[in-house]
Amino acid sequence: MAIIRPFKGLRPQEALAAKVAARPYDVLSAAEAKTAAAGNPYAYYHVSKSEIDLPDDTDVHSQPVYDKAAANLQRFIQEGTLLQDTTPHYYIYKLIMDGRAQVGLVCASAITDYNTGIIKKHEFTRPDKELDRINHIKTTRAQTGNVFLAYNDVPELNVIIDHWQQSQSPAYDFTADDGIRHTVWVINDPATVQDITVLFAQKVPCTYIADGHHRAASAALVQREFQEKGMIKSAEDPANFFLTTIFPASQLAILDYNRVVKDLNGLSKAELLSRLDYDFTVEAIGHLPQQPAMLHEFSMYLDHTWYRLVAREGTYTTDPIGILDVTILQQNVLDKLLGIKDQRTDKRIDFVGGIRGLQELVKRVDSGEMQVAFALYPVTIQQLFDIADSGQVMPPKSTWFEPKLRDGLLTHLIA
């Protein structure tokens, strides 16, 4: 069963919360972070993307970057921009995007759960990305990035979290420049904290990583190093846990994650359409973008025209991986026709998150940068759970979660 703990959150003064809050470190470049932080000395990018405070030619994975992050974090603490709670709390984090709300519990999740598979994964991690976060955590002695977890709904937990929102005033409530509203409550009643801890231990057999595989893996590797060096003194040591926000599955939505390809692998437009007809029904649908309406349906944009592709029976299997639309597209189009064997490494393919809309696909193709685009029906949360339960991993770039948690509203100190 899931082990979670309250923690002494390091968080901004109420008046500075909107200024501190920053997009996740891994969704924007150093240049974009520098622009976002311009004129704002409180922006958490000074911690999460501290290269913005160093010369432009600085290696973003060099030790001076991590040292600067640690120095900036300490400056925020010393100046009172960030204050640490004196006793451990849970926190409620509510996000509203386009009228849809999702409410998560911010807590410290046990690294033992990650190591033993109670926290389930669905992606591979890359050693270089792990090393970046390892060095950041070790140097700052803080987990500054939140891991987004999901779990099957537990009605008793929903009741507690709903009641706290309705009966207590939030610590923070603001709308960011992208229109997403962020509201945070502090659960500071010891009895309620204990009830939540016990309910997770009794009612939640596992949780699933939705977003943040590298952050979770890095926290686990730092914990192992600290343990080997004798730096962890008790089972409740903060380094034995990592910063998570856990959402009930019923509230989550996964957006589509689409593909654009530079060329047709030597095929003409007519040849591609003809060969697609072996594995799909192919229908031209005009010049206006049209989102796929169901599983196994794809939209393709080629030469200023949109096409509907529907996978024929026999082009996919019913196992958790084989039934995914990203698998169907990879096996029957990207590999079979366009010669793309590995989406992770092939430079001819790029990925466009659904948050950007289908017009972004049109733009990329009409500009001449790409020649063809494919829009996919989103993976369902149940498909993600099924794959994680089976111990398998999803194909690359399968899921895009929105809205995203903001960095800086809650930091977990491990020393």
> Domain locations in the chain?
4-253+402-413, 257-377
Q: Does domain 257-377 have CATH number 3.30.870?
A: no
DSSP E strands in 164-229: the ranges are 172-175, 181-187, 207-211
Region 111-127: mean pLDDT is 89
Whether 410 contacts 187, CB under 8 Å: no
User: Which stretch of 78-87, 161-170, 310-319, 357-366 has the lowest confidence by average pLDDT?
Assistant: 310-319
Q: Which of 175, 199, 205 lies closest to 187, judged by CA? A: 199
Q: Phi and psi for 62 in degrees, rounded to 5?
A: -90, 160
Phi, psi (5° rounding) for residue 385?
-60, -40
Indicate the burial class of 227 (C-beta count within 10 angstroms; 0-12, 13-18, 19 or more).
middle
pLDDT for residue 360 is more than 90: yes
The two beta strands, 372-376 and 297-302, are antiparallel
Residue 383: predicted pLDDT:
86
**Which H helix or E strand runs over 359?**
helix 358-366
Within a 13 Å sphere around the CA of 327, how many CA atoms are in the beta-carbon half?
17
pLDDT of residue 359: 92
8 A C-beta contact, residue 120 and residue 207:
yes
Give residue-wise pLDDT tens across range 228-286.
998 998 999 999 999 999 999 999 888 889 999 999 999 999 999 999 999 999 999 99
Burial 376-400 (b: 16+ CB within 10 A, else e): bbbbbbebbbbbbeeeebbbbbbbb
Burial class from Cβ neighbours inside 10 Å (0-12, 13-18, 19+) for residue 90 reads buried
pLDDT value of residue 161:
96
What is the pTM for the complete model shown? Answer: 0.86
The answer to whether residues 352 and 367 touch, using CB atoms and an 8 Å cutoff, is: no
Number of residues in the chain: 415
Local confidence band at 66 (pLDDT 50, 70, 90 cut-offs): very high
Q: With 90 as the cut, is the pLDDT of residue 316 above it?
A: no
Residue 411 has phi, psi (to 5 degrees) of -120, 140
> What residues contact 362, with CB distance under 8 A and at least 6 apart?
289, 301, 373
- When the pLDDT of each residue in the chain is averaged and rounded to a whole number, the result is 93
308: helix, strand or coil: strand
2/88 Cα distance (integer angstroms): 18
Return the higher-pLDDT residue of 112 and 28.
112
Q: How far is CA 197 from CA 72, 200, 284, 297, in A?
A: 33, 5, 54, 42
**Region 302-325 average pLDDT:** 91
Return d(Cα 219, Cα 214) in angstroms, integer: 9
Token representation of residue 156 = 């008793």
How much is the pLDDT for 401?
84
Calculate the dihedral angle through the C-alpha atoms of 12, 13, 18, 23, rounding to the nearest 10 degrees.
Answer: 0
- Residue 236 neighbours by CB under 8 Å, 6+ apart: 5
Residue pair 396/336 in contact by the 8 Å Cβ criterion: no
Higher pLDDT, 198 or 313: 198
CA dist 222 and 113 (Å) reads 15
Is the pLDDT assigned to residue 396 strictly greater than 80? no
Least confident stretch, 24-28, 117-121, 162-166? 24-28
Q: Where are the beta strands (DSSP E) in 29-122?
A: 82-84, 90-97, 100-110, 119-120
Q: Which of 378, 346, 382, 370 is nearest to 258 (CA)?
A: 378
Residue 230 token pair: 């004798």
Tokens linked to 131: 């090393």
Work out the average pLDDT over 206-235: 92
User: What is the rounded distance in angstroms from the CA atom of residue 322 to the CA atom of residue 328?
Assistant: 7
Q: How far is CA 350 from the centre of its chain?
A: 18
